[in-house]
Structures are given as structure tokens and as C-alpha cells.
Amino acid sequence: MTAQRPQPRPGVLDIAPYIPGKSTAPGVAKVFKLSSNETPLGPGENAIAAYREAGAHLEDYPEGSSLALREAIGGVFGLDPARIVCGAGSDDLLNLIARAYLTDGDEAIHTTHGFLVYPIATLGTGAKPVVAPEKEFTADVDTILKLVTPKTKIVFLANPNNPTGTYIPFDEVKRLHRSLPGNVLLVLDAAYAEYVRRNDYESGIELVATSDNVVMTRTFSKIYGLAALRLGWMYGPAHVIDAINRIRGPFNVNAPAIAAGIAAIQDAAHVERSREHNSRWLTWLTEEIGKLGLKVTPSVANFVLIHFPDTAGRTAGEANAFLMKRGLILRQVSAYQLPNALRMTVGSEEANKLVVNALAEFLGKKA
């Protein structure tokens, strides 16, 4: 007979723990980490300086509501700071949304290859994740809508999506919203919005501003290069922000992160340099990897999803092992239901060329 002991709430033990991208390759002198979608340009000099200055006052608690950061974000995007809440990465905010709006027996919809935090956050509340099949590795509005029931309380939509790099046009996002019941919260995860250069794309600010049931989450981890500080923000209706503020930690964003975030979001020149680098090399990687005979899902973010054949000697797992021995760390995405693919972050010029050459060698072709 098993001794009595505390038990987690239903749903918790059904969670597959999130496993970050690898960062080491044992036995390799020089490593190129291309597994976590980090910017190869790093943070801007202004953000680094602000971080260092904040380091001189680590004995002080941060301002509890991240007011100065919210005002900086509001100034850049033309938003009311009172309708912004900050968190320790957008992951933190996604979990807070689930805690605030899901309970036992509720349902939350996400797409097949959607961000793994969605089902984790859902299960942690005792609710049920509902998976909407994608079409061509892209979210499909009609499929999502067919799965909406009276139990549905949240729809999570990553746009662009990680790890596929695909997106749906803003007209489709608005169509999805129009067809949702008013009590269903549409969560637009726009972590990669800064990289998108498509005329039919919008991050969701306009929709949030005019709706009572839409929020948009953003991150400082990608184009701003502040992944180590864990910093994100959410824009939403006043009543949603009020609910999130009631359950978030009183000092959920640290002072160095606030200082660096303010400097980063105001550094338009650094953001543009990062965007230009990404646009150039995203196109180059897609074309060069395609020339090797591998399928690359068209991406608008800062990474590419590379598909490998299910053939012995050519699989994604074998390619990953081959690359790892050369210090080239990509992301295996089996947990995203993509066992025959690897996700590669757009890296430095050196890293990008090394990966293409190594893939050519792996496939027995000339780069």
C-alpha cells in the first residue's frame, strides 16, 4: 500500500515538462547555439549600459507595477500604459492568463504545432487543451472555429507561430475574432512580430484596442536580445489587465530587466539592424537549404523549419547528431509533433554558412 502523500491537482502530472533548446555540444571547442531563436546581434549597447547601471542598486526592490517600462512601451507603440502589464517573459503572462480565466472542465484551443507553453498552462489549471489541426503547418481559422464549444474559454494563437515560422493575415485574425463568442478570450502571441515584413500582417494592437476579449503578448527575448533577463508584456482590455494584476507577483519583473527593457525598446536603430540582418539571412538560408533538396517551411520569423526525409541515414535525428559533432546546435522539435524536422535560428553569417556546408556534407552534396 502506497503511503499517503500530497498530490498535485488533476492535470499537473499530465504535463510533459518543457525542454529548452540545447546549449552545449560535449567535446566541441566552438559552439554555435541556433536552438533557441536568440538574436545573433545580442542586445544593444544602450540596454547593456542600463543593465549595468541598475546593478549598482540590487538592494532595492523594483517599482512593483513596472510603471516606467509600461510608459516606455506605451510611448513607442502609442498605447495607454494602464492597459499594459509586464511579466517575467511572455511565458509568465501566458500562465497568468490561464490561471485567471481557466478552471476545471474548461477548454483552451491551440494549434497542432503551437507553442508548448499553451497546453502546459492549460493543464496546470485543470482545464483541457484542445488541438486544432493546421493546414500546411499554418493555423486554420475554420478548423479552430469548429472546435469551439460552450466549454471553450481561451483560444491561443501564435502569430507568427513557433516552431513553424508561419502566420495568418490580419484579416483572418479578425475573422476568427468575429466568430468567437464574447466570453472566449483570444490570446494573440506576437513574440516574433518585430521580424515580420508582410503587408497583410499586424500584431493585434488594433484589435485589442477595439475589443473586450482580445489580448496581445510580446517579448523582449527575441529581437531586443534580453532573453537572459526574462521580460515580456501584454496589452489588453482594462478588465483583463485588472484580473492579471490581481494574481501576478507583486515584484514579478526585476529592476535590471526594467531598466534594460526601457533602453531596448527605445533603441530603434538596434532593432532595425537586427531586422535587416534577419531579413537577409532568412532568405539566404531558405534558398540555400532548399537547393540541397530539403524542404523549408516559408518563415516570417527569425528561424527556419527544415524537413528531413524519413530515410535511414537522412533523418532529422541523424542530421542533428552530425551537426552537433561540429558544434552546430539546432532544435529538435519532436515535442511539437515534428519528428522529421529541425528548427534553426537565423544566426551570424559564419554560423549560417557553416550549417549549410555541414548539411551539404551530411547529404553528400556540394554546397
pLDDT in tens, 120-160: 999 999 999 999 999 999 999 999 999 999 999 999 999 99
pLDDT of residue 2: 58
Q: Which residue has the cell 541598475?
A: 54
Q: Where are the alpha helices (DSSP H) in 87-223?
A: 89-101, 117-123, 141-146, 170-179, 205-209
CA distance 100 to 103: 8
Does the fold of domain 45-266 match that of domain 19-42+269-363?
no
Residue 229 grid cell? 533577463
Share of residues in the chain with pLDDT > 70 (%)? 99
Work out whether the CA dihedral 77, 82, 87, 93 comes out positive or negative: negative
Instruction: Compute, in degrees rounded to 10, the torsion defined by CA atoms 238, 244, 249, 251.
Output: -20
Average pLDDT over residues 336-359: 98
* Stated pTM of the model: 0.94
- Angstrom distance (rounded) from CA 201 to CA 305: 20
Question: Which three cell numbers, joined as nine digits, stand for 86?
Answer: 509586464
Q: What pLDDT does 7 receive?
A: 86
268, pLDDT greater than 60: yes
The per-residue pLDDT for 29 is 80
CATH of domain 19-42+269-363: 3.90.1150.10
Residue 367 pLDDT grade (very low, low, confident, very high; cuts 50, 70, 90):
low
* Listed range (6-15, 48-57, 249-258, 299-308) with the worst mean pLDDT: 6-15
- Give the chain's mean pLDDT: 95
Give the DSSP H or E segment for 152: strand 152-158
Domain ranges for the chain: 19-42+269-363, 45-266
183 pLDDT band (50/70/90 cuts)? very high
Measure Cα distances from 321 to 16, 96, 317, 347 in Å. Answer: 23, 37, 6, 19
Confidence band, pLDDT 50/70/90 cuts, at residue 17: confident
Handedness of CA 218, 223, 226, 228 (dihedral sign): positive
pLDDT at 313: 86
Residue 10: the pLDDT is 84
Quick check: 33 and 218 in contact, CB under 8 A?
no
pLDDT at 38 over 60: yes
Question: Does 3.40.50.2300 match the CATH number of domain 45-266?
Answer: no
N-term to C-term CA, the chain: 62
